[in-house]
Amino acid sequence: MPDVPELRERAAELDAADELAKLREQFVLDEVVYLDGNSLGALPVGVPGRVDDVVRRQWGELRIRSWEESGWWTAPERIGDRIAPLVGAAPGQIVVGDSTSVNVFKALVGAVRLVGDGRDGRSGRNEILVDATTFPTDGYIAASAARLTGCELRPLEPAEVPGAVGPRTAAVLLNHVDYRTGRLHDLPSLTSAIHDAGALAVWDLCHSAGALPVGLDEHGVDLAVGCTYKYLNGGPGSPAYLYVRGDLQDRFDSPLPGWNSHADPFGMSPSYAPAPGALRGRVGTPDILSMLALEAALEVWEDVSIDAVRAKSLALTDFFLECVAAYVTGGRVESITPSAHAERGSQVALRCPDAGEVMKRLIERGVVGDFRHPDVLRFGFTPLYVGFGDVERAARVLGETLG
């Protein structure tokens, strides 16, 4: 395997010039090169102390008083407003809670109900389009939502959407970034095509929020969901979020009308009256421990520009691909991540025949990525704590492992 000291020198120069490099000290990290933040983000240093306070003081001492005195009750919308600028949304449109799967269900059924309420001449739509390459759960949920709403489900590639969406389409569920390949789909143009056909766009942002600009408001996205344990570093199983565009909120009819989304939750009325605004996306009692851990994790984002994050993400992935080309024997791996910046998320996926075994050996040598069946090595680049030295080392170890 060739030795390329110039790459190590350039990595050091890039790290020295990196305006985001100082953020690394806000995470609990060791000497491992951690390139799996697209599955589980690293632990921010402020989270353990916050969780300790929530458990010992807020729960242990204040107990039930914390619903008001510690702000537990308003946490879902308060934390939603902290996520909002990271996905290009104005305040009051995001509520945090439940899992991504539950929020996909709420969003998709809610979208079908929105177009089926007889307004704007859009009633009679009985078709849901879903990304055929989506993470499996989205497909499962879409199939259930179709059965529940009496719709036909049509899986298709995102590129096929403009030619497939039509007068029967109620809603289209798409992933912003493909979880296997890291391909970034064109949210603005696809949303526009969906709207031109009179349907509603539902976007899954799990692999883009916190890694690149999304522009929900700018591009008129109707509904969106996302997790918080990847690039937002909220911790394992941290609650997801639901975005409902402001002008749709008064008509959004959640299929899970829990007491927490009632206009008068403590009135204990036998009949349901939805709360105004994004609050109607709530369901049951908020999961306070994980939610407040997420709130502490989001403090890392104070004064961080998502555009700067995107610029570093592209620089990291470009440099990784360059290092792989230098260190890995030709033909041993093949990148299935698009080379064009406009089509790339914040990960690089390499096809490798013995990928599962290779990843085990990489982890043993201190380079942590992950493996996707049957033959994909997946490396995620979280710009808040991954540096160019990490990138060079990962590619060098990959070359040694394969060599």
Q: What is the pLDDT of residue 1?
A: 56
Q: What is the pLDDT of residue 126?
A: 96
Q: What is the pLDDT of residue 119?
A: 45
Q: In whole angstroms, what is the distance from residue 228 CA to residue 240 CA?
A: 6
Residue whose C-alpha is closest to residue 376's, from 345, 341, 333, 326: 333
Sketch the domain layout of the chain as residue ranges: 5-30+304-402, 52-301
Kindly report the pTM of this predicted structure: 0.97
* CATH superfamily of the domain spanning 5-30+304-402: Aspartate Aminotransferase, domain 1 (3.90.1150.10)
Give exposure, 82-101, as e/b (b: 16+ Cβ within 10 Å).
Answer: bbbebbbbeebbbbbbbbbb
List all residues 6 or more positions away from 356 whose beta carbon is below 8 Å from its beta carbon.
Answer: 371, 373
**β-sheet bridge partners, residue 184:** 177
The residues carrying an active-site annotation are 135, 204, 229-230, 378
Would you state the structure tokens that stand for residue 282, as one six-digit string? 């709530």
Which string of DSSP letters, residue by residue, matches 192-242?
HHHHHTT-EEEEE-TTTTTTS---TTTTT--EEEE-SSSTT---TT---EE
160: three-class secondary structure by DSSP: helix
CB 122 within 8 A of CB 82: no
Question: In this structure, what are the phi and psi dihedrals at residue 274, rounded to the nearest 5 degrees?
Answer: -70, 145
Q: What is the pLDDT of residue 123?
A: 61
pLDDT tens, residue order, the chain (403 aa): 567 899 999 999 999 999 999 999 999 999 999 999 999 999 999 999 999 999 999 999 999 999 999 999 999 999 999 999 999 999 999 999 999 999 999 999 999 999 986 444 446 899 999 999 999 999 999 999 999 999 999 999 999 999 999 999 999 999 999 999 999 999 999 999 999 999 999 999 999 999 999 999 999 999 999 999 999 999 999 999 999 999 999 999 999 999 999 999 999 999 999 999 999 999 999 999 999 999 999 999 999 999 999 999 999 999 999 999 999 998 899 999 999 999 999 999 999 999 999 999 999 999 999 999 999 999 999 999 999 999 999 999 999 999 8
Q: Which CATH number fits domain 52-301: 3.40.309.10, 3.40.640.10, 3.50.30.10, 3.40.50.620?
A: 3.40.640.10
**β-sheet bridge partners, residue 156:** 131
Q: What is the pLDDT of residue 42?
A: 98
Residue whose C-alpha is closest to residue 261's, from 54, 121, 73, 108: 73
Angle at 137 between CA 136 and CA 140, to 5 degrees: 90
